[in-house]
Chain A
Amino acid sequence: MTSLAEPDSWLPEPRTTSAGGGRTSPANPPPSRRSPLRRRATLVGWSFILPNFIGFALFTLVPVLAAFVLAFTHWDAYNPPSWAGLRNFARLLRDENFRVALTNTALYALGHVPLTLALSLGLALLLNQKLRGIAFFRVALFFPYVTSLVAVAIVWNMLFNPTSGPVNQFLHLIGAADPPGWTASPTWALPAVIITAVWKDMGYYMVLFLAGLQTIPREYYEAASVDGATGWRTFWNVTVPCLRPTTFFVLVMLTISSFKVFDLIFVMTQGGPGRSTLVLSQLIYQVGILDGDFGYSSAIALALFLIVAAITVFQFRLQQRREQ
């Protein structure tokens, strides 16, 4: 029943066992195409998915689809919409704000994704051991994520103050003659936001990695140990492959959340100075809710969706290739 493999499926197969310390998974039984079995599997599968799916479809999927339809209209979020065809998308192509926001968003993702991924994985490996006081360290590193965003914005703007902020005072101390203006400078505002975001998010993804590390069956380590593997070899042969579903999840979620970044920038810089930290989600919010042009903001959202979807599909493909 578990092996009705769809030949054109590009999603990762649940085949992690092949990664474990030189073991190989037993061959799956040949695919069965007989329909009663198949129908039963379908029923069972749907019965699992349904409780979540009903809520999800009703309260998320439907509004999302509605927004996509609205992308083809002029709508002020109040009066009846009028059909706009592709006009919103034509406007998108010549909209300087869209270009700026897309560039900023991409740059943010380029900085935020690798830094957070590396740091959170490093922290999880560091903290996944039995040490005195380990619980304290874990809690402490998760602190930033728990802290309310209103406070985070106040604290980091204070730290990044170009003239009297501790960050620049420290840079002065270690000999930087002309430290950056951070959130008061169009060049450095985005790096400042990225630093704050990494600080805030790494504890979050660390928790995911910790859970992933704990889910690795211990037998694999035992087997590796019996085989005489130690240290690095165990890490590369057991930890890395077994952690792959988690790493993949973190990578996908990080990428998606980077492209949708909103809250932090909204409270920290409001997109400024100038447009230097204007990101797509903020543009959507600005245009759709404050300027009353919801049709156009939906078109931006659709464009953002297509970009993120393309990247995610690419990541899934890459993941699948590595699995094979």
Chain B
Amino acid sequence: MAVAGAAGPLHASRKAKAGRERARRVALYVVLAVLLAIVLTPFLWMLSSSLKHDIDVLSIPVQWIPKDWVWSNYDSIWSVAPMAGYLANSSILAVTITFLQVLTGSFAAYGFSKVRFPGRDALFLGYIATIAVPWQAYMIPQYIMMQQAHLTDSFLSLILLQAFSAFGVFLMRQYYLSIPDELVEAARLDGLSDYGIWARIVLPLTKPALASLALLTFVNTWNDYMGPFIYLSSNNLWTVQIGLASFIGQYSAQYAMIMTGSVISVVPVLVIFLVGQRFFIAGIATSGMKG
């Protein structure tokens, strides 16, 4: 598979290779189609279940096509639970946290990768080390701190907890490592300050990384269940994931609503992915950056 080669601009003798190229493409589509079928099968069942009655969702044998098409699920879910409000709450949290995480994460990553100063690496190690501690282990001390600061049951508590995670710093640092130091050095010789280098050279160069960090942070926040569950008590602050879990009662669960809600909750993220994914193929305009 000369897959990687295709990413590079191999212009030489294009015509001679046209036939082989077409065969390769067909093979590629076949592979992708098979992969897609495997990956999407569970989702198709979810989609179909979102159009069933509650009691038909987990019936045995498995129903792939709904017995009755309950389209009204997509209508009633908005009144059964305040779904629109849940979506709005999730959006507020996800957007704010993503913005802060990308901004402070990429800023700190520059300090960790392009400025050398004593103690830097030890500090970085401290960052990564905390990633290795499961949240369950410090959830209670953290909650006590938040309660003392009277911040529980507010969006601010979750924003403060999740916006400054070490994940973004680590991720951006790794991408910054692949930016040649000569570039930074040359800019310094041109009299640009480090802040200027970060803003005008490093940031534009790592757009794909920024896009992926933003996307992943957004999805993680969007899908987080335990954090909002522990910190947000008032119903009017609840997020989509809490809303979905609230369909599970003490003695029974509204499975069709869970599936309908899950399908709905996927849509905003997919829109963001479709919009953002152009960054992954657009490539970066490196020409002229050789200083």
Direct contact, A vs B (beta carbon within 8 Å): yes
Main secondary structure of the interface of B (DSSP, over half): helix
Say yes or no: A146 contacts B174, CB within 8 Å. no
Q: In the complex, how many angstroms separate the beta carbon of A198 from the nearest chain B beta carbon?
A: 11
Q: Mark B51-63, 1 if CB is under 8 A from A, else 0.
A: 0000001101110
Q: With A2-B185, A17-B180 known to touch, is A63 a contact of B138 (CB < 8 Å)?
A: yes
Query: Does A221 lie at the interface of the complex (its beta carbon under 8 Å from any beta carbon of B)?
Result: yes
Contact among A56, A203, A253 for B127, CB-based, below 8 A: A56
Give chain B residues whose Cβ lies under 8 Å from the Cβ of A235.
2-5
With beta carbons under 8 angstroms apart, the residue of B1, B61, B132 that contacts A164 is B61
What A residues does B232 contact at CB under 8 A? none
Among residues of A, the one whose C-beta sits closest to the C-beta of B105 is: A52
Q: How far is the CA of A213 from the CA of B206 in the complex (A)?
A: 11
Complex Cα–Cα for A239 and B136 (A): 38
Whether the pair A51, B108 counts as a contact (CB closer than 8 A) is yes
Most buried by B among A56, A285, A300: A56
Q: Which residues of A contact B240 (CB under 8 A)?
A: 148
Total A-B residue contacts, Cβ distance less than 8 Å: 388
Chain A residues, Cβ within 8 Å of B137: 64, 67, 281, 284, 288, 297-298, 300-301, 304
Q: Which of B62, B116, B128, B258 interacts with A150 by CB under 8 Å?
A: B258
Give the contacting residue for A48; candidates B108, B170, B216; CB below 8 A. Answer: B108
Q: Give Cα distance in the complex from A17 to B184, angstroms.
A: 13
- What is the distance, in angstroms, from B280's C-beta to the closest C-beta of chain A? 5
Q: How far is the CA of A162 from the CA of B127 in the complex (A)?
A: 43
Q: How far is the CA of A41 from the CA of B5 in the complex (A)?
A: 40
Of A91-99, A107-115, A133-141, A269-277, the one with at least 4 CB within 8 A of chain B: A133-141
Complex: how many Å from CA A221 to CA B28?
22
**Residue in B114, B194, B259 whose CB lies within 8 Å of A14:** B114
Contact of B40 among A140, A150, A231, A238 (CB under 8 A): A140
| Beta-carbon nearest neighbor of A165 in chain B | B62
Residues of A within 8 A of B107 (CB): 48-49, 51-52
C-alpha gap A219/B209 in the complex (Å): 19
Task: Report the separation of the CA atoms of residues A261 and B267 in the bound assembly, to the nearest whole angstrom.
Answer: 26
Residue among B113, B175, B176 with the most chain A CB within 10 A?
B175
The answer to whether B178 touches A52 (Cβ under 8 A) is: no
B244 in contact with A214 (CB, 8 Å): no
Chain A contributes a number of interface residues (CB within 8 A of B) equal to: 131
Number of interface residues of B (CB under 8 A): 134
B69 at the interface (CB under 8 A from A): no
- Contact among A56, A199, A207, A305 with B166 in the assembled complex (CB-CB below 8 Å): A56
Interface presence of A180 (CB below 8 A): no
In the complex, how many angstroms separate the beta carbon of A30 from the nearest chain B beta carbon? 13
CB interface residues, A 123-164, toward B, < 8 Å: 123, 125-126, 128-131, 134-135, 137-152, 154-156, 158-159, 161, 163-164
Q: Indicate if B70 sits at the interface (CB-CB under 8 A).
A: no
B265 near A148 with CB under 8 A, answer yes
| A42 / chain B contacts, CB cutoff of 8 Å | 117-119
Residue B80, interface by CB 8 Å: no
In the complex with contacts A63-B142, A148-B223, A154-B180 CB distance below 8 A = no
A66 an interface residue at 8 Å Cβ cutoff?
A: yes
Nearest CB of A to B156, in Å: 11
Q: Would you give the 0/1 interface string for A61-97, flagging 1 where the beta carbon is closer than 8 Å to chain B? A: 1111011001000000100000000000000000000
Q: Is the CB of B8 within 8 A of A164?
A: no
A215 CB to nearest B CB, Å: 5
Q: Please state if A164 and B62 are interface contacts (CB–CB under 8 Å).
A: yes
Which residue among A148, A204, A207, A281 has the maximum number of chain B CB atoms within 10 Å of its CB?
A148
Contact of B111 among A47, A204, A260 (CB under 8 A): A47
- In contact, A144 and B136 (Cβ under 8 angstroms): no
Instruction: In the complex, identify which listed stretch (A171-179, A182-190, A244-252) lies at the interface while the others stay far away.
Output: A244-252
Q: Hey, which chain A residues are within 8 Å of B5, CB to CB?
A: 230-232, 234-235
| A14–B177 touching, CB < 8 Å | yes
The answer to whether B36 touches A63, judged by C-beta atoms less than 8 angstroms apart, is: no
Beyond A2-B181, A54-B164, A63-B138, 13 additional contacts (C-beta under 8 Å) are A1-B115, A4-B117, A4-B118, A52-B104, A52-B108, A56-B130, A125-B1, A139-B270, A140-B39, A150-B244, A212-B209, A214-B280, A217-B180
Instruction: State the A residues within 8 Å of B (CB).
Output: 1-6, 9, 11-12, 14-17, 25-26, 28, 38, 41-42, 44-49, 51-56, 58-64, 66-67, 70, 77, 123, 125-126, 128-131, 134-135, 137-152, 154-156, 158-159, 161, 163-166, 199, 203-204, 207-208, 210-219, 221-222, 224-225, 230-232, 234-235, 238-239, 242, 245-246, 248-249, 252-253, 256, 259-260, 262-263, 280-281, 284-285, 288-289, 294, 297-298, 300-301, 304-305, 308-309, 312
- Sample of 9 A–B contacts (CB below 8 Å): A46-B117, A67-B141, A125-B1, A137-B32, A138-B273, A151-B262, A161-B60, A234-B5, A238-B4
